[in-house]
Structures are given as structure tokens and as C-alpha cells.
Amino acid sequence: MHPGDLYAVVGDAEDDRSIAHYVAGRGFEAKMLPCPGMTGSWLASDGVRLFMSQRFEKRILELDPATGDIKREIPVRREITGLTMRDGAFYMLTTESREIDDYRLIRLDADDASPVERELARIPFVGGRGLAHDGAAFWTSLRSVATLVSFTFAQRTPLVSTRSVF
């Protein structure tokens, strides 16, 4: 991985998933890396390592960014609907399943050999997809209503405060 490189999960007509690699100043690499099992949801990086979540397999995979080979597998208890990294930790937007509208923000230390999930907040909105952090707030998309939402949470408060931006 190099500064300015971008990675994205893309699907084809059959929804088989691959990872596209964009190199700053050159564009997209011709070869895409197939996702393990042809499935993948969200990517996260600490600038050195590349991680991918697999929602229905309930896991985070550390991938070799050159080959796509799995270097490490981290099982999680819930389906991941958004993933980002910050300060050496994963932050995940999660749900029990498609049928249950119980979304939570979970934190895991990326460097622990056996990371422990720590629930940070219950999310009062349904259907968040993707997760990012801008240094002050988390962001997700609510695709059912075509809007982006930023949110923060207080350590002692189980619910988050939200503001819609679109």
C-alpha cells in the first residue's frame, strides 16, 4: 500500500465481488483481486494493512493488498453493515440480521490477537450502510431514504445524536 492508493469493493452482473485498486497519478490497475468466496462488503485500512468485512460470514479479513490472500480472520458476532478504522481500532455498524432492525456501533482493537467486541451505542435509525469517521463524527448512508447521516455519541449514553445532511 502506498499513500494515495484507494481500494474499492465492486460487484459484477452476478454480484461476484472483487477489489479494484486505484493508484494516484496512474488510475485503476487493470487486474482486480477476487474477494475470498467472491463476497465482500466494506474495506478499511490503517495505511499499512487492508481489511475487508464479509457481512453474512460475520468476519473481518486482513488481506494481502497485492494478492488478495487472507492473512488473518477476525470473527464477529453480528453482521457488519459498515466498517472504518481509527486510532488502531475497527468501528463497525452492525445488525443481527436483515430481518431485525437493531443497529449498533461496535469497536474492536485491530492489533489484539483475539479482539474483544465493545458495544459503544445503539443506533436509533435503521439501515445504515457504510461507515466513515471525519475526526469529529461518524457518517453512514441511509439508502432507503437516500440520505447521509452524521452522528456522535457520548460514552455514557446508549443512543447516538444524529443530523441528516441531505
Residue 48 near residue 1, CB atoms below 8 Å: yes
> How many domains would you assign to the chain?
1
H or E stretch at 80:
strand 79-86
The per-residue pLDDT for 163 is: 56
Which residues of the chain are modeled with pLDDT < 50?
158-159
Q: Is residue 1 part of a domain?
A: no
The reply to whether 153 falls in a domain is yes
The contacts of residue 51 (CB under 8 Å, 6+ apart) are 43, 44, 45, 60, 61, 62, 63, 83, 85, 90, 110
Q: Identify whether 95 is part of a domain.
A: yes
The pLDDT of residue 75 = 96
Looking at residue 143, its pLDDT comes to 79
Residue 34 maps to a domain = yes
Is the residue at 27 inside a domain?
Answer: yes
The whole domain housing 153 covers 6-164
Strands 103-109 and 118-123: antiparallel
Q: Which SS3 state, helix, strand or coil, does residue 37 take? A: helix
Is 152 inside a domain boundary? yes
CATH number at 26 reads 2.130.10.10
What are the residues facing 128 on neighbouring strands? 142
- Domain membership of residue 137 (yes or no) is yes
In this prediction the pTM is 0.87
Q: Contact at 8 Å (CB) between 104 and 119?
A: yes
Among 94, 53, 95, smallest CA distance to 75 is for 53
Q: Note whether residue 159 is domain-resident.
A: yes
Specify the pLDDT at position 24: 87
Q: What cell numbers appear for 47 in the block?
A: 495505511
